[in-house]
Amino acid sequence: GNSVTQMQGQVTLSEEEFLFINCTYSTTGYPTLFWYVQYPGEGPQLLLKVTTANNKGSSRGFEATYDKGTTSFHLQKASVQESDSAVYYCVLGDRYAQGLTFGLGTRVSVFP
């Protein structure tokens, strides 16, 4: 089956610092990889998507890079703001699977 691993449970940063979240995945299918972000009291919302055809994606200042060789999918942002505080989920989608496979999430806290 599919699986996703996010080792960082929590990241604490000051504004304008660099954010990097590591994610690894396992699948036997044809994956599409996502980063979802969840703010308190809300549902997860799509941040960006990367397919195997294009190994990078970007949105709202965030960038994600997919490496098929190491089965890794990292999220980064050069300069975070307090408004980026949220939980970030690495998510695996597979057109042959029933639904999305979520990692456990990384709580990012940004302080001014």
Per CB under 8 A, residues contacting other proteins are 32, 34, 41-46, 49, 89, 93-100, 102-105
Shortest distance, position 66 Cβ to other proteins, whole Å = 15
Q: Which is nearer to other proteins, 42 or 69 (CB)?
A: 42
Rounded CA Rg of the chain: 13
CB 88 within 8 A of CB 105: yes
**Bridge pairing between strands 62-67 and 56-59:** antiparallel
Shortest distance, position 112 Cβ to other proteins, whole Å = 27
Residue count of the chain: 112
Q: Which is nearer to other proteins, 69 or 96 (CB)?
A: 96
